[in-house]
């Protein structure tokens, strides 16, 4: 395996921590060049010390000062870069071979796109980048010879189950012989909660995912199943698959991470513990298999695997996502931006859980009619993203 120099964007998050856990098991084939974080400077300083990072990227001068105070390693510590542009600039450093895009939200789009433009190996956890700018991102990656490895567990599973030829290129059409993609989702913590009780659920209840331990935003997205909706859009772009050939299947145990259905009636699935270190190790090691630290799946102890149809009444955000993908890119940008605001307001207890979907739906109504032709640059996407955030913020304030 070629030696890799990693740039881990969002290193203090759930995916970032798992990435360092895997990477540090393989000092002979990879090293950490750069780390970034938006908050928790003490954590970042500890990571930088342990991983011997050369560069850290922090959001502000105050954060830089906090990092310096927290630095407990030898010498002056890593070079500290500041601000969103520094994320893009660091990705472009010639030393960097591999970028882990694990910032949460559309904030991760510019740096992920920069990695695509620079033709790096991209480990893509940040699904919001594909939701907001899937066409632009995939085209940029293809034209610049970037290597794109999906880290989201479902897409990583699908990638593993795809014909080998598809894994070697960034596809422009569905892989030959594939009929449908079957995306599994656990149904989250409220799969069986009485629908009339959902209005009263708290952020902590929404973040208590039965199987996965994740950041708070994606945890709420898993509860509403907007996360699965984002993943449908993500799968559409990653695998050039039309929306009517992507199916969501509820699978409460989260052991089958997703499946590919072939024309001959075969279904290939990837199974494993619900631990993100498995897809991360797949991405870091590709095309080889490397140790992830994840234990084996004990099938006999598990006993059974269940599958159900999704309930669109319980999960209106899932329906909104399918509708957005059918409507076009502007709707997808708005879906994502409105959701980020609504989830943030829910986490701050400014709106109810059951108000997340109506906020998104109203935003989608307000931006309909916008032509997608104006969304072919990063600036256009970010402008619509900002516009929608403004509308969503107003709507949330009305409900607060």
Q: Which of the residues 275 through 304 are near ligand NAD (CB under 6 A)? A: 276
SS3 305: coil
Subset of 71-100 contacting ligand NAD (CB under 6 A): none
User: Which residue of the chain is nearest Mg ion when measured via CB?
Assistant: 152
Q: Is 102 in the site for ligand NAD (CB under 6 A)?
A: yes
CA distance from start to end of the chain: 54
**From 34-42, 174-182, 355-363, 379-387, span contacting ligand NAD (CB under 6 A):** 34-42
Q: Does 37 bind ligand NAD (CB under 6 A)?
A: yes
- In the list ligand NAD, Mg ion, none, the entry touching 15 (Cβ below 5 to 8 angstroms by class) is ligand NAD
Asked if residue 103 binds ligand NAD (CB under 6 A), the reply is: yes
CB of 216 or CB of 366, closer to ligand NAD: 216
Length of the chain: 400
The least distance separating Mg ion from the CB of residue 374, rounded to whole angstroms, comes to 30
d(CA 59, CA 217): 19
Q: Is 32 helix (H, G, I), strand (E, B) or coil?
A: strand
Choice from 66, 117, 121, 127 touching ligand NAD (CB under 6 A)? 127
DSSP state of 82: E
Between 80 and 181, name the residue whose CB sits nearer to Mg ion.
181
d(CA 158, CA 183): 8
* C-alpha torsion sign, points 381, 383, 389, 392: negative
SS3 assignment, position 52:
coil
Cite the DSSP H helix spans in the chain: 14-23, 41-51, 61-70, 84-92, 109-117, 127-143, 153-161, 164-167, 203-207, 216-224, 226-238, 277-285, 299-302, 316-327, 329-347, 356-367, 378-399
Residue 176 in tokens: 């030959």
| Neighbouring-strand partners of residue 262 | 178
Contact 346, 355 (CB under 8 A): yes
Q: Which does 38 bind (CB under 5 to 8 A by kind): Mg ion, ligand NAD, none?
A: ligand NAD
Q: Cβ closer to ligand NAD: 152 or 361?
A: 152
- Which CB atom, from 213 or from 377, has the smaller least distance to ligand NAD? 213
Q: Which of 47, 90, 98, 126 binds ligand NAD (CB under 6 A)?
A: 126
67 binds, among Mg ion, ligand NAD, none (CB under 5 to 8 A by kind): none
User: How far from 381 is each of 119, 132, 136, 373, CA to CA, in Å?
Assistant: 21, 7, 10, 11
Kind of pairing, strands 147-150 and 121-124? parallel
Residues 6+ apart with CB under 8 A from 388: 333, 334, 337, 338, 363, 367
Nearer to ligand NAD, 249 or 362 (CB): 249
Kindly identify the residues of this chain, within the stretch 148-167, that bind ligand NAD according to CB under 6 A: 152
Assess 55 for contact with ligand NAD (CB under 6 A): no
Among positions 33, 38, 282, 315, the unique one binding ligand NAD when judged by CB under 6 A: 38
Closer to ligand NAD by Cβ: residue 12 or 329: 12
Return d(Cα 125, Cα 153) in angstroms, integer: 9
Closest separation in Å from C-beta 37 to ligand NAD: 4
Options 108, 111, 136, 152; binder of Mg ion; rule CB under 5 A: 152
User: Rounded to the nearest whole angstrom, what is the least distance from the CB of residue 38 to ligand NAD in the complex?
Assistant: 3
- The verdict on 15 binding ligand NAD (CB under 6 A) reads yes
Give me 203's structure tokens: 């952020």
# residues contacting Mg ion (CB under 5 A): 3
Whichever of 152 and 370 has its CB closer to ligand NAD, that residue is 152
> Which residues make up the interface to Mg ion (CB under 5 A)?
152-154
> Which residues make up the interface to ligand NAD (CB under 6 A)?
10-16, 37-39, 102-104, 107, 125-128, 152, 212, 214-215, 217-218, 276
């Amino acid at each position: 395996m070629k030696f890799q120099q990693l740039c881990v964007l969002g290193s203090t998050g759930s995916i970032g921590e798992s990435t360092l856990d895997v990477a540090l098991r393989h000092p002979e084939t990879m090293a950490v060049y750069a780390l970034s974080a938006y908050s928790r400077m003490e954590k970042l300083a500890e990571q930088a010390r342990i991983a011997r990072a050369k560069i850290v990227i922090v959001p502000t001068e105050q954060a830089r000062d906090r990092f310096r105070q927290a630095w407990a390693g030898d010498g002056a510590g890593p070079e500290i870069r500041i601000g969103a542009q520094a994320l893009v600039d660091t990705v472009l450093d010639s030393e960097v071979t591999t970028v882990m895009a694990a910032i949460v939200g559309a904030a991760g789009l510019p740096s992920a796109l920069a990695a695509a433009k620079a033709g790096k190996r991209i480990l893509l956890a940040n699904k919001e980048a594909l939701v907001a700018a899937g066409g632009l991102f995939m085209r940029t990656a293809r034209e610049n010879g970037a290597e794109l490895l999906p880290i989201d567990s479902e897409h990583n599973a699908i990638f593993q189950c795809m014909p080998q030829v598809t894994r070697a290129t960034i596809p422009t059409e569905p892989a030959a012989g594939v009929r449908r993609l079957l995306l599994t989702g656990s149904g989250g913590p409220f799969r069986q909660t009485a629908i009339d009780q959902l209005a009263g659920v708290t952020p902590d209840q929404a973040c208590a995912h039965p199987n996965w331990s994740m950041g708070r935003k994606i945890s709420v997205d898993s509860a509403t199943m907007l996360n699965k909706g984002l993943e449908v859009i993500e799968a559409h772009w990653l695998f050039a698959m039309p929306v009517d050939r992507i199916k969501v299947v509820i699978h409460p145990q989260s052991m089958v991470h997703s499946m590919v259905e072939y024309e001959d009636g075969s279904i290939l699935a990837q199974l494993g513990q619900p631990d993100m270190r498995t897809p991360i190790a797949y991405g870091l090691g590709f095309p080889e298999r490397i140790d992830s630290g994840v234990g084996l799946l004990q099938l006999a102890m598990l006993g059974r695997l269940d599958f159900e149809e999704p309930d669109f009444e319980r999960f209106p955000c899932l329906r909104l996502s399918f509708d957005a993908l059918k409507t076009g890119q502007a709707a997808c940008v708005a879906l994502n931006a409105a959701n980020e605001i609504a989830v943030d307001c829910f986490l701050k207890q400014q709106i109810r859980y059951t108000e997340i979907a109506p906020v998104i739906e109203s935003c989608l109504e307000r931006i309909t009619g916008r032509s997608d032709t104006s969304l072919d640059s990063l600036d256009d996407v970010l402008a619509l993203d900002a516009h929608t955030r403004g509308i969503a913020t107003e709507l949330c304030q009305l409900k607060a």
